[in-house]
Amino acid sequence: MDESSCIVCDAAQLRLVLEFGPVPLHCNLLLATADAARAVPSGTIQLAFCPDCGHLFNRSFDPARLSYDADYETSQHFSPRFRRYAEELADRLIARYGLRGKTAVEIGCGQGDFLALLCERGGCQGLGFDQSYAAAADGQSLPEAVSVSREAAPPQAVYDRADLVICRHVLEHLAEPHELVAAVRRGIGDRPETVVYFEVPNALFTLRELGIWDLIYEHCSYFTAASLSRLLEDGGLSVASLVEAFGGQFLAAEASPTACRPRLADPRTDVLAETAALVGAFPARLQATLKRWRTLCADLTEAGQRVAVWGAGSKGVTFVNLVAQEIRPYGIVDLNPRKQGRFVPGTASPVLAPAALRSEPPDVIIVMNPIYETEVRRESDRLGLGAQVMSVG
């Protein structure tokens, strides 16, 4: 990638915010053996900020170092809290766009969890595309109305049928996100009634809440509302709605084709100003957060406390890798059975089912996303663990 200009707006005046790492190249690629987990290569993040459009991205991102095969697993649908979010999103899209009997296409659909939910609740057809799709690996099959292809992108014939195009948590993985937006725009062609739904992590949440565990090599981009709307509008899509979702952690955009409308002056100057201020303070705040958690974990270990980390997604994997010198968590807990029994890249910590904690209960459970704290407490109580539950963030 061209390291000297912004990947969203092409402006040349970038600010290097910080260098971060080394972190494992893949956070969501869990390994079958501890040796394989230790052998996962690592990379460094050079976080750059574009004051023109408010975008943040990893200037040293190299997509050739990443691969998304069938071992790549990001589903959060095993969490009741996440599932509730997904159901509410599906219901909102169904109600707003009258999807009954229509066709939804999802680019980067993972194992098809969201598409299945949408089609079941909305009575629509679903066509999913994802290179990491592993057909019925865990014996769960998709509903009849849903089919998933391991092709990365839909062919034109699929676009021609699409009433809704969904693309969740894909744009941030791409070195050239405008290419995907352009492909979607080309695919929709002159069907102005087709709606596109994009969802990405919200960089402002990471900056505000010090979600430093969200800085992962797999993410090239960290979108703000300003940079996401700029990307979509420049790609010929008209943004009808762009809101924060999932407790502010995500950005959700609904857009539709527009006939080469000239881009309006960006009304989001308030977002740009807030982003610039947060970016300025971020490096020092990040270091302070890292130090606080390393000290806390060192103290717990010294006191002989047994620590479990809850959540083997990006945040948990990054957390154990960054504080690994101080903490020896005897396991990372995850509700997703596709993750259990596997090992975390870098530290090679084993991924456990919650029930596995019963034999040697932890003294402390560190929850990687505060939005899940209530359900973790409930699960800890149900299993009779008697552990102290604390959240990162």
Of 91, 113, 4, residue with least CA distance to 50? 4
Asked if 47 interacts with Zn ion (CB under 5 A), we say no
What is the token pair recorded at 1? 């990638």
Pick the stretch among 33-41, 46-54, 311-319, 346-354 that binds Zn ion (CB under 5 A).
46-54
178 near Zn ion, rule: CB under 5 A:
no
The DSSP 8-state label assigned to residue 278 in this structure reads H
SS3 track for 132-178: CCCCCCCCCCCCCCEEEECCCCCCHHHHHHCCEEEEECCHHHCCCHH
Q: State the pairing for strand pair 250-257/195-201.
A: antiparallel
User: Is residue 73 near Zn ion by the rule CB under 5 A?
Assistant: no
Q: Does 366 bind Zn ion (CB under 5 A)?
A: no
Give burial (CB, 10 Å; 0-12/13-18/19+) of 138. Answer: exposed
Q: Supply the minimum distance, in Å, between the C-beta of residue 227 and Zn ion.
A: 6
Kindly state the number of chain residues that form the binding site for Zn ion, as judged by CB under 5 A.
8
Q: Which is nearer to Zn ion, 14 or 90 (CB)?
A: 14
For Zn ion, the closer of residues 8 and 93 by Cβ is 8
Helix (H) or strand (E) holding 23: strand 15-24
What is the radius of gyration, based on Cα positions, of the chain?
Answer: 21
Each residue 11-30 as x (binds Zn ion by CB under 5 A) or -, in order, gives x-------------------
How far is the C-alpha of 308 from the C-alpha of 278, rounded, in Å? 31
Q: Which of 29, 53, 145, 210 binds Zn ion (CB under 5 A)?
A: 53
- 231 lines the binding site for Zn ion (CB under 5 A): no
- Token pair recorded at residue 109: 């659909």
- Contact between 168 and Zn ion per CB under 5 A: no
- Toward Zn ion, which CB reaches closer, 13 or 140? 13
Of 9-17, 246-254, 326-334, 347-355, which segment contacts Zn ion by CB under 5 A? 9-17
**Quick one: which segment of 10-18, 205-213, 294-302, 355-363 binds Zn ion (CB under 5 A)?**
10-18
Q: Does 55 bind Zn ion (CB under 5 A)?
A: yes
Using CB under 5 A, pick the residue from 9, 162, 225, 231 that binds Zn ion. Answer: 9
